[in-house]
Amino acid sequence: MASIVRQSPFLRQTCLSAFRSPLATRNVSQVVAFHASAKKQILPPLPLETEVIHGSTNDAAPIPKPHPSEGSYHWTFERLVSAGLIPLTFAPFIGGSLNPVMDAVLCSLIVVHSHIGFQACIIDYFPGRRVPKTLTFLNWLLRGFTLTTAVGLYEFETNDVGITEAIKRVWKA
3-state secondary structure of 58: coil
Whether residue 113 is annotated as binding a ligand: the answer is: yes
Say if residue 124 is exposed, middle or buried (CB neighbours under 10 Å; 0-12, 13-18, 19+). Answer: exposed
Whether residue 125 is annotated as binding a ligand: the answer is: yes
State the DSSP H helix or E strand holding residue 49, giving kind and residue range, or none if neither.
Answer: none
Q: How many CA atoms lie within 13 A of 83 on its CB side?
A: 6
d(C-alpha 130, C-alpha 118), whole Å: 19
Binding-site entries for a ubiquinone = 125
Binding-site entries = 113, 125
Binding-site entries for heme b = 113
